[in-house]
């Protein structure tokens, strides 16, 4: 596995592969890798000849300086996991390499970003769209792989690709969970033992809500029940629970026949902010 640290080296690597007729896959991450990330690499390797994973804790997408400071960084452990999963090159740029001068770019994704993560993390998706656009330009992948765990992020990136005519395919991979249902997340390692014991409740609440959606229980009632269950747990502070159209992400008052529903939540647990979602087709 090659280690690349500059945009020029990344560009040269993927252009050489392209000229040789090879397909290029890109897996953007912020590191502290777990099986959710490795699944993305494996999916990329199944479809592409070369797979670039990027590890970059992107400062412009953090709306909370403490969250940025505490974000887990374990570069050696990450590098050791990537090659066996099928990664052929690791891109680990510095902040100066990605942002040679402060970015002034501003994206507006309209209603897609006025809800959930966009509403609760001001500037977050501007930072995500900025860094993902840069990675797409630098690597020019045929396909880029993202996790369902960040459902709204995928919707934003699909809009970005359409609006800026990036010539690539976005592939979404399912959420990988621990045995007790907790969605794998780099931030899970910051949970202490009592918080970790409570954490599976997030997925349990989503599954209970999904069952209610399937039974036709009205969205407001589903949301209220989920909120109440989360709020009853003293270690948990729910930030939002949303019952939304899976494509437009807009909150639902009633179900529209034939349209998928996404149940999303964010909650603070022992000082750690976690998100999760479940889709009802
Ligand atoms: N449990 C998971 N299953 C599938 N994909 C995942 C999972 N966790 C993260 N991903 C995906 O991996 C990519 C990189 O995500 P990221 O590096 O932010 O990891 P993370 O575990 O989500 O970290 P955190 O939630 O703490 O920011 C994203 O496309 C994300 O959706
Ligand atoms: C897509 C991403 C790597 C951009 O920094 C990040 O938002 C993430 O890890 O999901
Ligand atoms: N997985 C989304 C990256 C973030 O939380 O900033």
Query: Tell me, what's the pLDDT at 245?
Result: 98
Query: Tell me, what's the pLDDT at 267?
Result: 97
No. of helices (H) and no. of strands (E), the chain: 11, 9
DSSP reduced 3-state for 260? coil
> What is the chain's mean pLDDT, rounded?
97
Average pLDDT rounded to a whole number, residues 73-85: 96
Dihedral sign computed on CA atoms, order 109, 158, 5, 184: positive
Q: Is 21 annotated as a binding residue?
A: no
CA–CA gap between residue 270 and residue 199 (Å, rounded): 10
CA–CA gap between residue 124 and residue 140 (Å, rounded): 23
Beta bridge partners of residue 240, listed in sequence order = 266
Query: Tell me, what's the pLDDT at 201?
Result: 98
Q: Catalytic residue numbers? A: 37
Query: Tell me, what's the pLDDT at 143?
Result: 98
DSSP reduced 3-state for 163? helix
- Whether 28 is in the pocket of ligand 2, judged by its Cβ within 6 Å, is yes
Percent of the chain whose predicted confidence (pLDDT) is above 70: 100
CA–CA gap between residue 15 and residue 40 (Å, rounded): 22
- ipTM given for this complex: 0.97
CATH homologous superfamily of 2-173 equals HUPs (3.40.50.620)
Query: Tell me, what's the pLDDT at 57?
Result: 97
Could you tell me the distance, in angstroms and rounded to a whole number, from the CA of residue 257 to the centre of ligand 1?
A: 31
pLDDT tens string 254-272: 999 999 999 999 999 999 9
Beta bridge partners of residue 172, listed in sequence order = 146
pLDDT tens string 182-205: 999 999 999 999 999 999 999 999
Q: Is 34 annotated as a binding residue?
A: yes
Q: Which of the four pLDDT bands, split at 50, 70 and 90, describes residue 252?
A: very high
- Whether 130 is in the pocket of ligand 1, judged by its Cβ within 6 Å, is no
Residues 152, 247 contacting (CB under 8 angstroms): no
CA–CA gap between residue 168 and residue 171 (Å, rounded): 10
Helix (H) or strand (E) holding 249: none
Ligand closest to the CA atom of residue 128: 2
- Whether 42 is in the pocket of ligand 1, judged by its Cβ within 6 Å, is no
Strands (E), the chain: 2-4, 24-29, 50-55, 89-91, 143-147, 169-173, 236-245, 261-269, 272-280
Strand 169-173, strand 143-147: pairing? parallel
- Whether 191 is in the pocket of ligand 1, judged by its Cβ within 6 Å, is no
Ligand closest to the CA atom of residue 146: 1
Q: Is 223 annotated as a binding residue?
A: no
Pocket test residue of 40, 57, 264, 275 for ligand 1, highest count of atoms within 8 A of CB? 40
Instruction: List the 89-91 sheet strands across, edge first.
Output: 2-4, 89-91, 50-55, 24-29, 143-147, 169-173
- Whether 58 is in the pocket of ligand 3, judged by its Cβ within 6 Å, is no
**Tokens coding 24:** 């290029």
Beta-carbon-side half-sphere exposure of residue 49 (alpha carbons within 13 Å): 11
Tokens 């899976």 belong to 246
Among 278, 263, 267, 277, residue whose Cα is nearest residue 198? 267
> Would you kindly state where each structural domain of the chain is located, as residue ranges?
2-173, 186-280
**Tokens coding 43:** 């999916």
Overall size of the chain counted in residues: 281
Instruction: Tell me which CATH code domain 186-280 carries.
Output: 3.30.1300.10
């Amino acid at each position: 596995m090659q280690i690349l640290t500059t945009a020029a080296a990344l560009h040269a690597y993927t252009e050489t592969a392209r000229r040789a007729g090879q397909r290029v896959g890109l897996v953007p991450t912020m590191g502290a890798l777990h099986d959710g990330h490795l699944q993305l690499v494996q999916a990329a390797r199944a479809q592409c000849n070369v797979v670039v994973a990027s590890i970059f804790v992107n400062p412009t997408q953090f709306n909370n300086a403490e969250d940025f400071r505490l974000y887990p960084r374990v570069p050696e452990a990450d590098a050791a996991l990537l090659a066996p999963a099928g990664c052929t090159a690791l891109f680990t740029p510095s902040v100066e390499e990605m942002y040679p001068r402060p970015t002034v770019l501003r994206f507006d994704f309209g209603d897609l970003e006025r809800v959930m993560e966009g509403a609760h993390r001001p500037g977050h998706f501007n930072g995500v769209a900025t860094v993902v656009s840069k990675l797409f330009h630098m690597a020019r992948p045929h396909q880029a792989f993202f996790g369902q765990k960040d459902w709204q992020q995928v919707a934003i990136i699909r809009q970005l690709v359409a609006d800026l005519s990036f010539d690539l395919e976005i592939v979404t991979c399912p959420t990988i969970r621990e045995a007790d249902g907790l969605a794998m997340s780099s931030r899970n390692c910051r949970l202490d033992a009592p918080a970790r014991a409570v954490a599976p409740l997030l997925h349990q609440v989503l599954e209970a809500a999904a069952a209610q959606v399937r039974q036709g229980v009205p969205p407001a009632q589903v949301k209220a029940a989920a909120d109440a269950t989360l709020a009853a747990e003293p270690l948990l502070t729910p930030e939002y629970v949303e019952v939304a159209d899976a494509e437009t992400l807009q909150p639902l008052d009633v179900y529209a026949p034939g349209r998928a529903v996404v149940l999303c939540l964010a909650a603070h647990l022992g000082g750690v902010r976690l998100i999760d979602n479940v889709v009802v087709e």
